[in-house]
Chain A
Amino acid sequence: MLRAKTSVATLTIVAIVAVATVLLAALGFINYFTESHEQRARLDAETASRANQLAVGLALPLWNFDRPQIDRVIESAMEAPEVYGVIVHQHDVSAPGQSAIYSKMRDGGSASSTTGVGLLAQERPIVASNETLGSVKVFVTRAYVEERLRKSLLWLAARIVAVDLILIFCLYTLLRQMFLMPLRSVEKFASSVTTGMRDPRPVTQQHFSGELESLRGSIEKMIDLLDERYAALQRSQAMLTGVLNSVPHYIFWKDRNSVYMGGNQVFAHAMGLKDATEVPGKTDFDFWAREEAEKYRAADAEVIRTGKPLKRQFKATQPSDGTEVWLDTIKTPLHDAEGNVTGVLGVYENMNEQRRAEEALRLNEEQFRMLFEQNIVGITIFDVMCTPEGTPVDYRLVRANSAADRHSGLNMQSGIGKTGAELPWKWPEQLQHDLMRLGCEGGHLSYERFNDSLGRFFEVSAFSPMPGQFAMIFNDITERKHAEAVMLESEKMRTVAGLAAGMAHEINNPLAGMLQNAQVVLNRISPDLPANRAAAQKCGTNLEAVAAYMKERGIPEMLQSIRHSGERAADIVANMLSFSRKNEAEIRPQRLDEVLDQAVELAQSDYDLKKNFDMKKIAIEREYEPGLPEVPCRSTEIQQVVLNLLKNAAQAMSDRGERPEPPRITLKLGRDNGNARIEIADNGPGMPESVRQKIFEPFFTTKEPRSGTGLGLFVSYFIITRNHDGQIDVQSTPGKGTRFSIRLPLRPENKNVS
């Protein structure tokens, strides 16, 4: 730096040297002029005195005309170097106006040449005894004086030069030592700070003097301070940049003309730029389609005009990859210190995730709502209200789904918000207590409940979905209960059938022994068998006597009676298992209406039936669904079943003493879910539930003893369920009548029924 420009030091030195030179020169010249004047004055004085001396000295010789003496006097005067020449004029008394001249000139000059510049002349009369003898003129040259003066001038110049050189040297050394080097150190130190390569050491170890030391201190302090501030600024800058680039938001700022002044990294990338440094100078037209860019610029203009932030959500095509993004944006005016709007700060956010999340949440909510709303089980949710001590006191219905209405037959929706006392139903005290405690303490509660007013079974599961609430999930399980009952029934019947089959074998063997022995005994008292006579004779009697005796004692009748009883027992057993007996008839499609009609005909002509009551007195109503397809079955077996049921109905009605309405049997034939359905309903006395549950059991009968075997329904049950894969059940209302329902599959199962 010092070399590049005229340095302060050089200037200082030049100035000082110049001043010193001028001063010295001025002083020198004054001195010169003074001396020159003095020299001249002295020369004049010396010349005058010399002239006087010559005048005196020459007076005598001249008087005497002593020429040599005159010459000696002149010669001696010429010894003075400044004396250029001496001219002596001697007045000639005898010839006035004539004067002898004695002259002496240095360098062979003549008196005429003394008129040249630089010669001083002094003329003195030479007087002796009051008589002027002549005059003497002394020429003195100034050359000698001027020579001295010139020399003195040269000395002056030499002195000035010397002084200047010394000055320059001293000043330079001094400046260098005291200012330049410290300044350079400070400068180096400062520039190191500027370039950021700062030597952590201070300016220099050297101690500076005076003001420089304090300057150094100040500068060091200042530099340190600056350094600190700079570092702080850098930190703050880094922090700001970091923040800008860390936030997931897209941030940019524009000037009043909607020209981008900057943006964060995320924004730059979204705009398809590599780095945020590329953002400044760009406009929206560089990034977006014309239409979009204009829209954004219009928004900028609005923000600048109104000075108010602008929030918007819209869909845009991201410049970097062309994807559709939902943006949530806010544009805020930027102000300067005076409060003028200088530009726009834009911050926006990619809402896709949020939108997706919202959508997922909505779907989820929808799903759960549907799960709640469309559920086939009834769901109700209650709040439990507690005392400050936590004792539950009441509850309030907060939610109920439509199935809850359907199952309960109540309008639950209108009960929402109502408390226990206001709700249109009452739970048993204990249940209510348990449910409320459940809401407070959590847990689980499951129970089944029969709703009397609806006549249906419910399975209820209660739990606490969150503290202070309990939820009830209930399902109508009437059908299941029914199915369970049917299954239980069929299980029971299967067990009974197995038992019966086992017993049949065990009973048939002793029955065979009994009947066979009875027959053999009867054979052996018969007169037809030759062996009998032989045996009688061998015993000393004859067969007639034995026969007479037997008859007398009633033995043949007894034997017959044994046979009858045995046969009857065999009949019962056979009847009981008649459904399992080998039936040669094939299962083939039959018209059920014909089968029913034949069974009615058989019932009306049945002698046993007529003994007790007249079937013809009972009105038979037929309700056959037209177009029913043929049903695969064994017609004889189905006939037997229908006949059994008709007998059953007829007998039931005959048992009834007072008849409020004429006895009637209704036969219905129709379809039911892939089955053919036969219904035989009477308007008889009906039966209580206890009887209904046992109606198909073998030997169960409410008839008068001996009026039936009690096997009809048992056999019918197995003919339908086992031989035809069908179902039979009975419904009865005491005092109103009984209805048997038979369902036979319309499609034959590939099950070989024997």
Chain B
Amino acid sequence: MSAEPRVLIVDDDASVRASLGAYLEDEGMFVESFAHARDVIAWLGENPADAAIVDVRLGEIDGQSLIVRAHQLCPDLKFLIYTGSLGYQLPDSLRSVGMTPQDVLYKPLRNLHVMAEAIRRIAGKERSDVQQR
């Protein structure tokens, strides 16, 4: 894989954020971590990204709103939800930006490999589309 995906991690739990980032970097991905949604928006204004892993419960702006905003800024950006709420279900607002129930992962993941695969799935789809073009 010549171009590893650039991944954004948005989670207010530092331990989750750091360990997930470390794992994905070990997997060879480019990782940028954020604790606050507003920083993500600011960053996206100037930098490219392939995928974003977003926690639902964040600070002032929640994960869902962030995804909707970010999609407006970067329509090509793909998203995964990573939440501790076991009853969480994908709302229509997120289905309309192209997300599916597959894109929702529940904390804690027994194996982070699942996450890496999911990122490659959504980002790779994009890439394969690009390659096909």
Contact = CB atoms under 8 A, between A and B. Distances in A.
Contact of B20 (A508, A516, A524): A516
A510 to B, nearest CB: 7
Contact of A523 (B26, B89, B109): B26
B106 to A, nearest CB: 7
Interface in B82-113: 83-87, 89, 101, 106-112
B108 A581 contact: no
Interface string A482-522: 00000000000000000001001111111111111101100
Interface stretch (B11-19, B68-76, B125-133): B11-19
A520 B22 contact: yes
Nearest to A524: B26
B108 A515 contact: yes
B41 to A, nearest CB: 23
Contacts of A570: 108, 110
Interface stretch (A192-200, A572-580, A616-624, A671-679): A572-580
Given A519-B111, A523-B23, A512 B84 contact: yes
Contact of B23 (A510, A519, A582): A519
A125 interface: no
Contacts of A505: 57, 83-86
Contacts of B23: 516, 519-520, 523
Interface residues of A, number: 32
A687 to B, nearest CB: 31
A667 to B, nearest CB: 31
A529 B22 CA distance: 13
A573 B108 CA distance: 10
A7 B20 CA distance: 159
Contact of A514 (B14, B85, B86, B108): B108
Q: Among A505, A511, A563, A754, find the residue whose CB has the most chain B CB atoms closer than 10 A.
A: A505
Nearest to B110: A567
Nearest to A523: B26
B108 A508 contact: yes
A520 B26 CA distance: 8
B15 A581 contact: no
A504 B87 CA distance: 10
B108 A512 contact: yes
Nearest to B105: A512
Contacts of B13: 509-510, 512-513
Nearest to B13: A509
A531 interface: yes
Interface residues of B, number: 25
Contacts of B106: 508
A517 B84 contact: no
A346 interface: no
Contact of B19 (A507, A513, A563): A513
Interface in A580-599: 580-582
A501 B57 CA distance: 14
A515 B112 CA distance: 9
A566 B112 CA distance: 14
B51 to A, nearest CB: 17
Contact of A754 (B16, B22, B89): B89
A512 B86 contact: no
A285 B106 CA distance: 108
A684 B60 CA distance: 55
Contacts of B15: 510, 512-514, 516-517
A577 B86 contact: yes
Contact of B108 (A501, A523, A566): A566
Interface in B26-53: 26
Nearest to A582: B89
15 contacts: A501-B86, A501-B87, A504-B85, A505-B83, A509-B16, A509-B84, A513-B16, A513-B19, A514-B108, A516-B16, A520-B22, A520-B112, A523-B26, A531-B26, A580-B87
Given A508-B107, A512-B108, A531-B26, 14 more contacts: A504-B85, A505-B86, A508-B106, A509-B16, A509-B107, A512-B107, A513-B13, A513-B14, A514-B15, A514-B108, A515-B108, A516-B15, A516-B16, A582-B87
Interface of B: 13-16, 18-20, 22-23, 26, 57, 83-87, 89, 101, 106-112
In order of increasing CB-CB distance, the 9 nearest A-B pairs are A513-B15, A508-B84, A516-B19, A512-B108, A512-B107, A580-B87, A511-B108, A517-B19, A508-B107
